Amino acid sequence: MNIPIGNIVSASDIQKNYRKIFDRAKRTKEPIIVFRGTEPEVAVVDIGSLTYLQKKTGEAEMADALRAIKLMREEKRRGKLKVLPIDGLIKLVGQ
């Protein structure tokens, strides 16, 4: 992720200039990364960008689920579908 240097601010910058920083995030539609010391803590994004990211994430999750269902149906059709007991499934996913 390439963040322009002007979009990196400190926590104290937020305390002193929050309105200016919020307005920049809204105007540019770019995230503002807030650092505490040398570590990034949070990002300030406009609500439109957040909504877009949430929508795209949901779409990607749905596409993954549909691919998994398609694969399961194909393996079932070929007779290669493996049914695992619940303890085998838990072991497989590492929980």
- The per-residue pLDDT for range 50-85, each reduced to its tens digit, is 999 999 999 999 999 999 999 999 998 998 887 777
| φ and ψ of 8, to 5 deg | -115, 125
Report pLDDT digits (tens) over 4-54: 788 999 999 999 999 999 999 999 999 999 999 999 999 999 999 999 999
Cα distance between residue 16 and residue 19, in whole Å: 9
Residue-range domains of the chain with CATH: 5-45 (3.40.1620), 49-93 (no CATH)
Query: Are 3 and 33 within 8 A, CB to CB?
Result: yes
pLDDT at 94 over 90: no
